Structure 1
Amino acid sequence: MKFDHRIAVVTGGGQGIGAAAALRFLDEGARVAVLDLDCAPLIEQLAAVPDAAARCLCVAGDCTDAAIVCAFFDRVEAELGPVDLLFNNVGQSARERSGPFIASEEATWRFVLEVSLLTTMRASRRVAPGMRERSFGRIVNMSSDAALVGDSGLADYATAKMGVIGFTRALARELAPHGVTVNAVCPGAIRTRAHDKLKPEVLARIVADTPAGFIGAPEDIAAAVSFLAGDDARFITGQTLLIDGGRWMV
């Protein structure tokens, strides 16, 4: 119960990695608030969590809408208390609109930058002042190994996720003197609903490119987030942790 008496927020926590992180925080004693367009998958899983109704606040909303995000944090603070732990999980690639940069459109770049970078900055800006005043806080940002590998067809996504890394380092330097750590995780291939749309040959190629020989699970990322948010990681800040089965080695 290492997060007993802690308040954790997970953006994009309705499913996949975000839901796994929310469940991990709950299992370790935290009270958790989640903002996502669709919270239904997480809500189904909460049926097996003791006192979930009292310890988990699920809010349906768009993380790219500044007004919705502001109202969400107002509600979290009013109902649960000041935020101790923030996992900026929300983000995505252009998905079906992905392709060669020379054929891409600016509207797509702006969408990817908004959902994968600006959401992280926006939520962090909301909680950082309070963390600084209380001399405690943990912020974990979601990047991607695509930022380091530079996958073909994902120029906008790689740009946004490398922006997350730069933001993480700068914010970590600002907040370190005040007892607040800021780190980033960079998942590789993780089995989520997005993978269900991939062709078998694409999945096979992903596995072949991963030295570990398999695709990771959301729980693999949740474990790393839990570590970085805990007291055992108090001397770790501004770092980027790759969790990708060895696809990119620093």
Structure 2
Amino acid sequence: MIVADRFNNRTVIVSGGGAGIGAAIARRFMAEGARVGVIDLDTSGLVEGLDEAVVERLLAVDADCTDEHALTEFHGRVVSGFGPVDILINNVGQSGRERSAPFHESNEEVWRFVLEISLISAMRLSRLAAPAMRERGGRIVNMASDAAFAGDAGLADYAAAKMGLIGFTRSLARELAPHGVTVNAVAPGAIRTRAHERVPAAVIERIKAETPAGFVGEPDDVAAAVAFLASDEARFITGQSLLIDGGRWMI
């Protein structure tokens, strides 16, 4: 349920917000009144269907989230245009996809890419946002994956990166809690995005069979949970990992 004006006068950053889960999160915050900065390789589809008044509260930048300079420049533009960051959503991440392989056949170049995009980018953006949050309070939500808990075969690098993000979440939560900042992680399972279009139907059916809820989630399911963790209602929740996977993995 959209809560009108819940994030009025809040500045939000969403990395990897050009499509899929990230776009759903960005749209959710804009629908609830926030000013939103989005960085992704391609943000062109994000403005489709948005009212002009909403678009005025969006700063969309096409850039590579593995580029430290690009992240720093983007953060500066958001702060200059919208003010200090109140809510940071470290959403960007990726497995090796077509380059994924059983670990004994895997390539170190792919490991490094997966770690860079899924973990290091979150650390870099958090370091940029943390100083102002220490002064003003804030929320950080990191995008992990249930692959970190389930340990899916063929995704050792991705599982390692996402579990690293869980450890980062917990440590940063302890550091920032005295300053009124909460840091949490969400860990989606199978979510219907464009990536699913490249997955064989038999694999999707297997995933459904392994999921107690019996269906694949939607990006808005993740966006709703992220919005809650970023809200004032979640002020006493920090250092936690919320799985959004229909019960595939339970902790």
TM-score by length of 2: 0.97
Distance, in Å, in 2 between the alignment partners of 1:236 and 1:214 is 28
Residue of structure 2 in register with 1:40 after alignment:
44
Counterpart CA distance in 2 for 1:48 and 1:182 is 29
SS in structure 1 opposite 2:13? strand
Deviations 1:86-112 (A, max 9, x none): 000000100011110000011010000
Q: Which range moved further: 159-168 or 53-62?
A: 53-62
Q: Residue 95 of structure 2 aligns with which residue?
A: 93
Q: Which amino acid aligns with 1:108?
A: V
What RMSD in Å do the two structures reach over aligned CA positions? 0.7
Match of 1:103 among 84, 100, 105: 105
Q: Encode CA deviations 1:189-228: one digit per residue, 9 max, x unaligned.
A: 0000000001111111111111100000000000000000
Partner of 2:153: 152
Q: Secondary structure at the match of 1:32?
A: strand
Counterpart residue identity of residue 141, structure 1: N
C-alpha deviation, 1:50, in angstroms: 5.1
1:81 maps to: 83
> Counterpart of 2:31?
27
| Length, aligned pairs only | 247
| Residue 182 (structure 1) shift | 0.2
Whether contact under 8 Å (2:212, 2:247) holds in the other structure is yes
- Find the aligned partners of 1:49 and 1:192 in 2 and give their Cα distance: 24
Deviations 1:217-241 (A, max 9, x none): 0000000000000000000000000
Determine the C-alpha separation between the residues in 2 that align with 1:49 and 1:201. 39
User: What residue in structure 2 maps to residue 181 of structure 1?
Assistant: 182
| C-alpha distance in 2 between matches for 1:145 and 1:111 | 20
SS at match of 1:144: coil
Q: How does 1:207-246 map to 2 (within 5 A)?
A: 207-246=208-247
Name the amino acid aligned to 1:144.
S
Q: Find out whether 1:164 has 2:165 as its counterpart.
A: yes
Amino acid at match of 2:92: V
CA distance in 2, matches of 1:48, 1:194: 24
Contact 2:47 2:55 in 1 (8 A): no
Taking structure 1 as the reference length, the TM-score comes to 0.97
- Structure 2 unmatched runs, 5+: none
Secondary structure of the corresponding residue to residue 57 of structure 1: strand
- Matched with 2:202 is 201
User: What CA deviation, in whole Å up to 9, does each residue of 1:63-116 have, x standing for no partner?
Assistant: 110000010011111111100000000001000111100000110100000000
Point out where structure 1 has 5 or more consecutive residues left out of the alignment.
none
